Chain A
Amino acid sequence: MSELGLALSMEQISKRFPGTLAVDGVDFSVYAGEVHALIGENGAGKSTLMKILAGSFNDYSGTIRINDRPVDLHTPAAAKAYGIQMIHQELSLAPPLSLAENLLAGRLPRKWGFVLDRKAMHAESRRWLERVGLDLDGDTIVEDISQHEAQLVEIAKALANHPCILVMDEPTSALSRQEVQRLFEIIRRLRRQGLAIVYISHHLDEVLEIADRVTVLRDGRKVATHEIRDVSASQLVELMVGRSVSALYAERSTRPAEVRLEVRRASRYGFFHDVSFKLRGGEILGVGGLSGSGRSELARSLCGIDPLEEGAVLLDGRDITPADYRQSIAAGMVYLSEDRKSQGLALRMSVAENVLSSVIPRQSRTGFYSARSGRSLVRALVGSLEIHPADPARMASTLSGGNQQKALLAKWLATKPEVLILDEPTRGVDVAAKVVIHQAIAALADAGKCVLLISSDLPELVGLSDRVMILRQGKRIGQIDRERCSEAAVLLAANGEGEFVQS
């Protein structure tokens, strides 16, 4: 492996939150010149472990050694001083500033004590940008560069702080395939230079390609650490999940039924164009496509959150083309938003208040409203969706991600929808919650309702949908029926290739 020795060694690390032991006696080490992948389902403790490394907590237990020296990482400043740099999924660049200002923030070169040395700024930022293979000018404004370039600038910014340990959290989430390859080249180069790299990702193929070793976490504990050449993707999945995955998607019996929802030539110019489809009662229609293909935009316009510039929406033959979202909800078409924290749940309110928030107008025909009248409804939903803890008075923010997502689903199930549009219904959710959510979606369809499922989780999209419609650059380019639907087929079609694309 590496003759350079351990750059980082974490021994018996634990971190307790109210109600959970998020990290439980984990050992984790990285050699200099090694890429060590850290994988696990959401909520397995990856991000908590890395937050400990970043100095976010002053109350973890266990020993951390950096270059064989025991250290206390109780503040972010301490972590930085020991050469630990993080690159997060969410970019941390200030959009209105130039690349140079972002890269050299806090230590901008000056002359005569106070005047910015533009020339030095330019030269130095240029140097760091070249190191990540970017041919950009330091004066470029962050707003003007692409997501992928921003990701690389983020890495350059971390490198500019001379790290010895670099943590990359889902660095490829916004990148295309070619861009991922470019990123990997840079990672390999950094590895040769002796940097210790922690690589967190959900994409097992990436992990298998770039990592030297892999550590799997589950429920806050370390399950295993392996040399990458000793493991396969399916082994990793089993380690992560703790059981076989095939049980996840039960076969649904689909019965032919009447067309209930019809969307005719829907357009919102610049987002999606001329999209038509029909949805039968009891059918789950998947919407596949790359990010930026207009999937969420289509969903939001169909139910009136964003404007629908052309086209019509018909439910059971009745025109329900909405002017605003309230009309759509009244007509029985609801949208489960993709970002539960900022768009889905009011985190400071209780589970019951959140669940009932979607039915306030319905429960108060006279203007008077009491949450009490919905108590049995909330209890039934909390029970059927196995929301844990099963306490409707609990503040939503104290729930785990999976239970928050269940609460969000409960909020929209409370409206007794005829058409349920789901946008990434299980993003950032643990496996157990995923199963419950999938069962609830299937049950809704079995009751004769229509489900439109948008998901980037390909196994979910393929496993749950009766049909998958493919969007690309805002246009409907084809569809795949259940018999021939596979992850590969969806991915290929989403890229505009393969047999299912109709020109």
Chain B
Amino acid sequence: MSELSAPDIDARAQRKNRLFELVSVLGVWALVMLLFASGCVISPKFLTARNLMSAAQAVSLLGIVCMGLAFVTYSRHYVDLSIPGIMALSGAMAISALPYGFAASLAVGMATGLAIGLVNGLVVGYLRLNPIIWTLAMVSVLAGLIRWAYGGLQVYPDEATAAGRAFLNLYHVKLVSLADGRIELPLIVGLLAVLAAAAHVVMRWTSYGAQLKLTGSAYEVARLTGVNVRRVVATAFVVSAATSALAGILLTSFNKVAAFYIGRGYDFEAITAVVLGGMALAGGRGSIAGVIGGVVAVALLNNVLSLVKVDDFVIGEFAKRVIQGCVFIVVVGLHSWALRRTGMDDA
């Protein structure tokens, strides 16, 4: 075909594609700015060190979950719905192991998450079950398991022991404290930074990342290129479970109690953040930088909503959920629409 017959159109199409990519990365950070500005306008409480600190910690917990979930979404396996279950069970197991010491507690908590991740990975990666159906079943099983094991009781860490106090303090540990505690860097923010850097490096600079991108972009092509697609997908689920377990332990530390409902809502918030950050459900697209933007946007949205008062009535959990759902629908809808417009949906 006469490829060069219309260089002007060619160049325009190329520009359009590049613009589209740029918008999907910058767009989320623009949204972050907008939310930040509206937060400042809506409530005087927004721009206080206390509020911003709690926002940062919320960002960090969600962010840690998203760093793992991003691998699942990138591999075109949409979402790991067992996230809340993993968070709850890891937290509960960590508390149960506290009598054997703080390190044992962390190890048991993480091992729990990894074990569940391995099962997910084997079933979805190797047996090729539908990831949504399987992890949906898994989260139900996990919630049941916790209720059965703990008899529906809430599990508290024992504050009388050093390990118990260390566990409870985990969420509040500061890595750096400057100017009499006015500028602080909480441990979990530092953890998120390390995980984000690691996730970025793995995705962009390792053979696993390259193979994950190929698998997410075109599974069959990856298989016929000699990529061990089953292991690649299974690994993504293990990574997702590991970060969920970490977030679960931290959240349990914050809540001072383990219960089956811990981590509830993180599945949907996390996938909203990941998709909002430009990591398409179609797989193989997006970046960790974008996902971080998505996380900040979702956390800020929550924070701003919690400050909004209508006739002295604080908008509650229900409104938050409605708005989050709408954001998710709009983002996914816009994304599919944009892809169709640029003719990239079938490619």
Residues in chain A within 8 A of chain B (CB atoms): 16, 18-22, 24, 43, 45, 219-220, 305, 325-326, 328-329, 335, 337, 342-349, 353, 356-358, 360-361, 363-364, 367-371, 388-389, 395-398, 400, 411, 430
B206 touches A368 (CB 8 A): yes
Known: A337-B224, A395-B347. A367 touches B217 (CB 8 A): no
- Distance between Cα atoms of A398 and B18 in the complex (Å): 14
The residue in chain B whose Cβ has the minimal distance to the Cβ of A330 is B226
Is B13 among interface residues, defined by CB-CB distance under 8 A? yes
Is B182 among interface residues, defined by CB-CB distance under 8 A? no
A368 touches B347 (CB 8 A): no
Interface centre among A19, A305, A356, A363 (most CB of B within 10 A): A19
- Distance between Cα atoms of A18 and B4 in the complex (Å): 10
Known: A18-B9, A19-B9. A325 touches B207 (CB 8 A): no
The residue in chain B whose Cβ has the minimal distance to the Cβ of A344 is B221
The residue in chain B whose Cβ has the minimal distance to the Cβ of A349 is B217
Is B12 among interface residues, defined by CB-CB distance under 8 A? yes
B207 touches A368 (CB 8 A): yes
Count of B interface residues, CB-CB < 8 Å: 35
A43 touches B1 (CB 8 A): yes
Interface centre among B5, B206, B207, B284 (most CB of A within 10 A): B207
A371 touches B210 (CB 8 A): yes
Chain A residues within an 8 Å CB radius of B205: 368-370
Nearest Cβ on chain A to B338's Cβ, whole angstroms: 14
Chain A residues within an 8 Å CB radius of B9: 16, 18-19
B207 touches A219 (CB 8 A): no
- Distance between Cα atoms of A189 and B211 in the complex (Å): 55
- Distance between Cα atoms of A398 and B10 in the complex (Å): 10
B226 touches A329 (CB 8 A): yes
Interface centre among A219, A328, A369 (most CB of B within 10 A): A369
How would residues 210 to 233 of chain B score, 1 for a CB under 8 Å from any chain A CB and 0 otherwise?
110110011011111111100000
Chain B residues within an 8 Å CB radius of A364: 206-207, 210
Contacting B224 at CB < 8 Å: which of A43, A325, A397? Answer: A325
Is B208 among interface residues, defined by CB-CB distance under 8 A? yes
Is B278 among interface residues, defined by CB-CB distance under 8 A? no
Chain B residues within an 8 Å CB radius of A325: 223-224, 226
A346 touches B284 (CB 8 A): yes
Interface centre among A346, A353, A358, A368 (most CB of B within 10 A): A346
B5 touches A21 (CB 8 A): yes
Nearest Cβ on chain B to A341's Cβ, whole angstroms: 9
A19 touches B3 (CB 8 A): yes
The residue in chain A whose Cβ has the minimal distance to the Cβ of B204 is A370
The residue in chain B whose Cβ has the minimal distance to the Cβ of A401 is B1
Is B19 among interface residues, defined by CB-CB distance under 8 A? no
Is B2 among interface residues, defined by CB-CB distance under 8 A? yes
A348 touches B220 (CB 8 A): no
- Distance between Cα atoms of A22 and B3 in the complex (Å): 9
Chain A residues within an 8 Å CB radius of B347: 347-348, 395-397
Is B121 among interface residues, defined by CB-CB distance under 8 A? no
Is B39 among interface residues, defined by CB-CB distance under 8 A? no
Interface centre among B217, B221, B223, B224 (most CB of A within 10 A): B221
- For chain B residues 1-45, which have a beta carbon within 8 Å of chain A? 1-3, 5-6, 9-10, 12-13, 17
Chain B residues within an 8 Å CB radius of A411: 225
The residue in chain A whose Cβ has the minimal distance to the Cβ of B283 is A348
Known: A18-B9, A19-B6. A219 touches B1 (CB 8 A): yes
Enumerate the 6 nearest inter-chain pairs by beta-carbon distance, A residue then B residue, closest first: A397-B347, A18-B13, A364-B207, A346-B218, A19-B10, A369-B207
Known: A364-B207, A369-B206. A326 touches B1 (CB 8 A): no
The residue in chain B whose Cβ has the minimal distance to the Cβ of A365 is B207
List 17 additional A-B contacts (Cβ < 8 Å) besides A16-B9, A346-B222, A348-B217. A19-B10, A20-B2, A21-B6, A325-B223, A325-B226, A335-B224, A342-B221, A346-B221, A347-B218, A348-B344, A349-B218, A353-B214, A357-B221, A358-B226, A367-B207, A369-B207, A398-B13
A343 touches B10 (CB 8 A): no
B226 touches A326 (CB 8 A): yes
Chain B residues within an 8 Å CB radius of A370: 205
30 sampled A-B residue pairs with Cβ under 8 A = A18-B6, A18-B13, A20-B6, A21-B1, A21-B2, A220-B1, A325-B224, A326-B228, A335-B224, A346-B222, A346-B284, A347-B218, A347-B347, A348-B285, A348-B347, A349-B213, A358-B225, A360-B210, A360-B211, A364-B207, A367-B206, A369-B206, A371-B210, A389-B3, A395-B17, A395-B344, A395-B347, A397-B344, A398-B13, A400-B3
- Distance between Cα atoms of A43 and B3 in the complex (Å): 11
The residue in chain B whose Cβ has the minimal distance to the Cβ of A400 is B1
Nearest Cβ on chain A to B262's Cβ, whole angstroms: 35
Is B209 among interface residues, defined by CB-CB distance under 8 A? yes
- Distance between Cα atoms of A6 and B205 in the complex (Å): 62
The residue in chain A whose Cβ has the minimal distance to the Cβ of B228 is A326
Nearest Cβ on chain B to A322's Cβ, whole angstroms: 10
B210 touches A343 (CB 8 A): no
- Distance between Cα atoms of A411 and B214 in the complex (Å): 13
- Distance between Cα atoms of A343 and B221 in the complex (Å): 4
- Distance between Cα atoms of A144 and B319 in the complex (Å): 53
Known: A360-B211, A388-B3. A19 touches B13 (CB 8 A): yes
Nearest Cβ on chain B to A49's Cβ, whole angstroms: 13
- Distance between Cα atoms of A148 and B5 in the complex (Å): 41
- Distance between Cα atoms of A388 and B224 in the complex (Å): 25
- Distance between Cα atoms of A18 and B10 in the complex (Å): 5
- Distance between Cα atoms of A18 and B220 in the complex (Å): 28
Contacting A343 at CB < 8 Å: which of B220, B226, B227, B344? Answer: B220
- Distance between Cα atoms of A18 and B6 in the complex (Å): 8
Known: A325-B224, A343-B220. A22 touches B1 (CB 8 A): yes
Chain A residues within an 8 Å CB radius of B213: 349, 353
Chain A residues within an 8 Å CB radius of B2: 20-21, 24, 219-220
- Distance between Cα atoms of A344 and B347 in the complex (Å): 13
Nearest Cβ on chain B to A80's Cβ, whole angstroms: 22
B224 touches A305 (CB 8 A): yes
Chain B residues within an 8 Å CB radius of A349: 213-214, 217-218, 284
- Distance between Cα atoms of A20 and B4 in the complex (Å): 7
- Distance between Cα atoms of A189 and B324 in the complex (Å): 61
- Distance between Cα atoms of A122 and B213 in the complex (Å): 50
A357 touches B214 (CB 8 A): yes
B5 touches A20 (CB 8 A): yes
Contacting A357 at CB < 8 Å: which of B6, B225, B228? Answer: B225
Chain A residues within an 8 Å CB radius of B6: 16, 18-21
The residue in chain B whose Cβ has the minimal distance to the Cβ of A396 is B347
A20 touches B1 (CB 8 A): yes
The residue in chain B whose Cβ has the minimal distance to the Cβ of A361 is B207
Chain B residues within an 8 Å CB radius of A348: 217-218, 284-285, 344, 347
The residue in chain B whose Cβ has the minimal distance to the Cβ of A397 is B347
The residue in chain B whose Cβ has the minimal distance to the Cβ of A45 is B1
Chain A residues within an 8 Å CB radius of B220: 342-343
B1 touches A344 (CB 8 A): no
Interface centre among A329, A349, A430 (most CB of B within 10 A): A349
